[in-house]
Amino acid sequence: MKIAMQLTLDGLVRAMRIKAHEVADAMETRRPSAKQVEAAKEDHVVRRRGGKDDSGGS
């Protein structure tokens, strides 16, 4: 029974590792949407002007 559990655990670890690589590859190759690009540009302009305080402090 111990051998069967080890094989099951090994299979689970391998499956999780493969899934993690698939997710990472998908995130690396994903292109941002036009809305995300526009929001990033606006945020960059606001930060350069000093008009927005994202620090959360007063």
Each residue's pLDDT tens digit, 29-45:
877 777 888 888 888 77
pLDDT at residue 13 is higher than 50? yes
In this structure, is residue 56 part of a structural domain? no
Residue 18 tokens read as 């493969």
The residues, any chain, with a CB within 8 Å of residue 40's CB and separated by 6 or more, are 32
Rounded CA-CA distance 48/25 in Å is 32
pLDDT bin (cut points 50, 70, 90) of residue 55 is low
In this structure, is residue 33 part of a structural domain? yes
Q: Range of 11's domain?
A: 2-49
pLDDT bin (cut points 50, 70, 90) of residue 28 is confident
How many domains is the chain partitioned into structurally?
A: 1
In this structure, is residue 58 part of a structural domain? no
In this structure, is residue 57 part of a structural domain? no
